[in-house]
Amino acid sequence: MSEIKETVVANNFIKNIIDEDLKNNKNDSRVHTRFPPEPNGYLHIGHAKSICLNFGLGKEYNGITNLRFDDTNPVKEDVEYVDSIMEDVKWLGFDWEDRLFYASDYFDKLYDFAIELINLGLAYVCEQTPEEIRQFRGTLTEPGKPSPYRDRTIAENLDLFGRMKNGEFPDGTKTLRAKIDMSSPNINMRDPVVYRIKKAHHHRTGDKWCIYPMYDYTHCLSDMLEGITHSICTLEFEDHRPLYDWFLDVLKTPCHPQQIEFARLNINYTVLSKRKLLQLVQENFVNGWDDPRMPTISGFRRRGYTPAAIRDFADRIGVTKGESTVDYSVLEFCIREDLNKTALRAMAVVNPLKVTIENYPDDLKDDILDGVNNPENPEAGTRKIKFSKVIYVERDDFMEDPPKKFFRLAPGKEVRLRYAYFITCKEVIKDENGEVIELICTYDPASRGGNSPDGRKVQGTIHWVSAEYGKTAELRLYENLFLTENPDIAPEGKTFLDNMNPDSLKVIQAWVEPSLLEAKTNDKFQFERVGYFCADSKDSQPGAPVFNRTVGLRDSWAKIAKK
């Protein structure tokens, strides 16, 4: 975690609230936040926003931040998810130190609080079915009706709740409900369920419990037990805040965290719902949670995104109360900004066209040139690249009949080969179908290193790989997983799955500099003029590298080629 630069959370309304609290010496001037994932899936870029916000505020205010697994739903949760979440938070550069908690650690205390609620006459055991509960709850315009079990005596409630805990009743036959107000304009306050019966094995508490507390009840009390000061969550919980406060108020808890809501992150051309991401994994639309096309943190890591770039992204998009969708290009911009500074340069030819240099001596061996590893970082040094009489260039870098502004290879035109020589195209060789299969060029030996020998200018510089010394490598080229900006919107009878891009993965063999065969997994490169790539963490092997395209380069030559 030493590489983490100081995370500064841009000014936002939450910081204004904290500043005000500190001014008033609220919470003894402590700032204590938490990140509370439910371990029912892998983390995605939306969670990264929440992580950067919570841990960022902790850091900035000299406070602390807990990691708490909100594990109250035994059926959907799994240790695989717990482990992946810890790995992802660490990878993003954050540290919960010794403050790793589980809501399930509080099950005993939560049970005691429930007993207290019953004793206060503020909770009752209800025997309505989920359907009846729904019917009695009313609507936004109609008040609810009280459950027939609402007025049981305290003794009766204590007895029944104890027997619920002891496993005497089947799943779904009884619940414990808070007794609040069936005609509250806020539906969340119409006697919400606090406990339900679920005879399921829990990944941490095993078979100890067959009743499990509900989210709203668990969350505020867990925050309170940990001494959280600012409990930051997404906007959909705004209407739950009165309930959050109600539990803490009636139980007269010694500490009362403040819930603050912000707008969740949405990005176009992707989905950020764990349920949908799980479906993509389970139904094999992608190759696992860490498929490089997934918007998960593990997918991004495998694709070559960096923690610094994701933190930068979180800073740039800011924190507001207004729902909005961020353009995917903002994320890609942040990735490029970081990789431009750190990724080593190399040459790879994606769509090769053979070039024979006719005046290059047949017997010239060991013509070794120097390539700059990173023009942005002199310390990255140089590498040796062997030249040869036959090379490959990018097919797109040649046009037989070029438009005016095409500065690359064309009959009679001279270009610079990166780090090597000026070459001039003399002859175009075609196959029987008229397709160009080879160019015959001449080179100027005096331009060695790519320097002009006499001040004459060439307008284009293109990349190349030696046919003699170069190697092949697998490149995985990714496009958006979805074709529509908002994949959640699907026509009648269709789902988000119908919006998937069938061509989101293209696998090709490219010619690469021989040094790339030694790439270690996760090594990041800029293949000059082609894009940023990262050696795949699962499938790349020494001698048989596999590179994921992290992000393309933003450059004008690609646009010209398209015209």
Q: Under rule CB under 6 A, how many of the chain's residues touch ligand ATP?
A: 15
Give the relative orientation of helices 215-225 and 241-250 as an angle to the nearest 10 degrees.
Answer: 60
User: In whole angstroms, how close is the CB of 38 to ligand ATP at the nearest point?
Assistant: 4
Confirm whether 468 is a catalytic residue: no
User: In whole angstroms, how close is the CB of 18 to ligand ATP at the nearest point?
Assistant: 17
Give the relative orientation of helices 107-119 and 154-165 as an angle to the nearest 10 degrees.
Answer: 160
> Catalytic: which of 264, 276, 395, 471?
264
Cβ proximity to ligand ATP, 18 vs 465, nearer residue: 18
Among the listed residues 163, 199, 275, 384, the single contact to ligand ATP using CB under 6 A: 275
Per rule CB under 6 A, is residue 241 in the interface with ligand ATP?
no
User: In whole angstroms, how close is the CB of 63 to ligand ATP at the nearest point?
Assistant: 17
Cβ proximity to ligand ATP, 50 vs 104, nearer residue: 50
User: In whole angstroms, how close is the CB of 326 to ligand ATP at the nearest point?
Assistant: 10
Question: Is the torsion defined by CA of 398, 403, 407, 413 positive or negative?
Answer: positive
Per rule CB under 6 A, is residue 265 in the interface with ligand ATP?
yes
Q: Give the integer Cα–Cα distance in Å for 281 and 196.
A: 29
Confirm whether 418 is a catalytic residue: no
Per rule CB under 6 A, is residue 257 in the interface with ligand ATP?
no
CB under 6 A: which stretch of 45-53, 97-105, 157-165, 295-303 binds ligand ATP? 45-53
> Catalytic: which of 38, 60, 127, 485?
38
Q: Give the integer Cα–Cα distance in Å for 14 and 4.
A: 23
Among the listed residues 37, 213, 295, 299, the single contact to ligand ATP using CB under 6 A: 37
Task: Please state whether beta strands 230-234 and 258-262 pair in parallel, antiparallel, or not at all (unpaired).
Answer: parallel
Q: Give the integer Cα–Cα distance in Å for 69 and 80.
A: 13
User: In whole angstroms, how close is the CB of 252 to ligand ATP at the nearest point?
Assistant: 26
Closest Cα to residue 393, out of 485, 496, 330, 464?
Answer: 464
In one letter, which amino acid is 467?
A
Per rule CB under 6 A, is residue 273 in the interface with ligand ATP?
yes
493's CB contacts (< 8 A; 6+ apart) are none
Per rule CB under 6 A, is residue 56 in the interface with ligand ATP?
no
CB 14 within 8 A of CB 319: yes
> Catalytic: which of 59, 196, 241, 274?
274
Backbone φ and ψ for 306, nearest 5 degrees, come out as -115, 155
User: In whole angstroms, how close is the CB of 55 to ligand ATP at the nearest point?
Assistant: 12
Look up residue 387 and give its two tokens: 């030249």
241's CB contacts (< 8 A; 6+ apart) are 259, 261
CB 387 within 8 A of CB 420: yes
CB under 6 A: which stretch of 273-281, 427-435, 479-487, 494-502 binds ligand ATP? 273-281
Look up residue 57 and give its two tokens: 């505020």
User: In whole angstroms, how close is the CB of 519 to ligand ATP at the nearest point?
Assistant: 33
Scan residues 211-240 and list those touching ligand ATP (CB under 6 A).
233-234
Per rule CB under 6 A, is residue 47 in the interface with ligand ATP?
yes
In one letter, which amino acid is 491?
P
Q: Give the integer Cα–Cα distance in Å for 89 and 76.
A: 21
Cβ proximity to ligand ATP, 236 vs 283, nearer residue: 236
CB under 6 A: which stretch of 16-24, 36-44, 405-413, 540-548 binds ligand ATP? 36-44
Cβ proximity to ligand ATP, 47 vs 165, nearer residue: 47
Cβ proximity to ligand ATP, 135 vs 324, nearer residue: 324
Cβ proximity to ligand ATP, 223 vs 394, nearer residue: 223
Backbone φ and ψ for 560, nearest 5 degrees, come out as -60, -40
Per rule CB under 6 A, is residue 264 in the interface with ligand ATP?
yes
Per rule CB under 6 A, is residue 487 in the interface with ligand ATP?
no
532-536, long-range: CB < 8 A, 24+ apart: 532/304, 532/335, 532/336, 532/339, 532/343, 533/304, 533/348, 533/475, 534/302, 534/303, 534/304, 536/292, 536/302, 536/476
Taken as a whole, the chain contains a residue count of 563
Cβ proximity to ligand ATP, 49 vs 336, nearer residue: 49
Cβ proximity to ligand ATP, 234 vs 279, nearer residue: 234
Confirm whether 341 is a catalytic residue: no
Per rule CB under 6 A, is residue 36 in the interface with ligand ATP?
yes
Per rule CB under 6 A, is residue 76 in the interface with ligand ATP?
no
User: In whole angstroms, how close is the CB of 240 to ligand ATP at the nearest point?
Assistant: 12
In one letter, which amino acid is 325?
T
Q: Give the integer Cα–Cα distance in Å for 453 and 446.
A: 6
CB under 6 A: which stretch of 10-18, 30-38, 71-79, 326-334 binds ligand ATP? 30-38
CB under 6 A: which stretch of 43-51, 151-159, 221-229, 380-388 binds ligand ATP? 43-51
- Per DSSP, the residues of 300-313 read HHHHT--HHHHHHH
User: Active-site positions?
Assistant: 38, 264, 274
Site residues, ligand ATP (CB under 6 A) = 36-38, 46-47, 49-50, 233-234, 264-265, 272-275
